Amino acid sequence: MELDEVDWKILKILQADGRTALSEIARRLDMGSATIHERANRLESEGYIREYRAVLDPQLLEIDQVAFVRISTEPGRFSEVAERLVEEPDVQEIHEITGDADLQLKVRVSERSELTDLLRRIGAYESVRETSTDVALRNVKEEQALNLSTDR
């Protein structure tokens, strides 16, 4: 599916506030509500819009201890380790990477002891050779929004 300028504008508005009513988007873009509704449905069905959700404040919820964990696995086994890591609720992101390690995780916990427990579990996974952990001291920028400049 080829995205046109209107599609990009819809995505930009919804990314900024997923609760924006489609009628409000239609008003902003000076288009009919039915047209915007149809386009938004198409963007969802094609997978451009994966989900709508609230962005919670981890500090207020006291889930603000962040660590980045690099994992080295037995050769050729990183995918099965990654699939097992999906089940760990404190792991927010899992990336297959290049370099000295095979996987990199972003982990968020309430207390350091939870991080210690998680690292102990991961270290016991079959095929995990080594982990290396960096604990974040301060969050300077954390953004989920994509740069949707219409200059594409």
Domain containing 77 equals 65-135
Domains of the chain: total: 2
pTM over 0.75: yes
Residue 20 counted as domain residue: yes
Which tokens go with 60?
Answer: 């207020």
Same domain, 70 and 130: yes
Same domain, 72 and 125: yes
Q: What pLDDT, on the 0 to 100 scale, is given for residue 152?
A: 53
> Does the structure show a pLDDT above 90 at 74?
yes
Q: What pLDDT, on the 0 to 100 scale, is given for residue 8?
A: 95
Residue 97 counted as domain residue: yes
Give 15-68 pLDDT, tens digit per residue. 999 999 999 999 999 999 999 999 999 999 999 999 999 999 999 999 999 999
